[in-house]
Amino acid sequence: METVREIWFKCAKCERESYCEASFEKRPDAEVMCPFCRTTQKLKDVRIT
């Protein structure tokens, strides 16, 4: 059984959605960068569940 490929997140600043690799899930403090406004934020804070 394959697992999820991407993790979706929604930028807290510009509110646009994007996604990162599933491997980010393995790092509890992983950060992501909104590709639209370049804001960096904790994945756990902006993850779409």
Partner 1 sequence: MTDNTPQQAAKEREEPVKDLRSFLAEYRAAYPDDVLDVHVPIKAKYECTAIGKHFEDLGKYPLVLFHRVITTNGQISQFPLMVNVLGDRRKLAHAIGSNFEDVTIDWRRRVSEAKCQPVVVNRSDASVKENVRVGDQVNLLDLPAMHTHEMDPGPYITAGMLTTFHPDKWIDNCALQRGFIAGPREIRCLLVPTSHNYLNYAAYGERGKEMKVAYWVGHHPAVIMGAHSGLGYPESHYVTASAVAGQPLRLVPSETLGDDFLVPADAEFVIEGIMVPGKRALEAPFGEYPRYYGPQRMGEVFDVTAITYRNAAIWDSFLVGMNNIYGGAQEEGNIYVAVKRAVPQVQRVYCPVSGSGRFHAYIQIKKTHEGQPREAIMAALSSSANIKHVIVVDEDIDVFDDRWVLWAVATRSQWDRDLVVIPNCQAAFLDPTTGERGLGTKGGIDATKPAPPKRFPLRINVPQDVLERVTLEEYVGPEALAKVPNSRDMKPRR
Which residues contact partner 1 by CB under 8 A? 2-7, 18-24, 31-33, 35-36, 38, 40
Beta partners for 21?
Answer: 6
Strand runs labelled E in 11-49: 17-21, 31-33, 40-42
CB of 29: closest distance to partner 1 in angstroms? Answer: 13
Q: Please give the C-alpha separations between residue 37 and each of 7, 14, 18, 33, 41, in angstroms, as whole numbers.
A: 18, 7, 11, 8, 11
CB of 13: closest distance to partner 1 in angstroms? Answer: 14
For partner 1, the closer of residues 10 and 33 by Cβ is: 33
CB of 6: closest distance to partner 1 in angstroms? Answer: 5
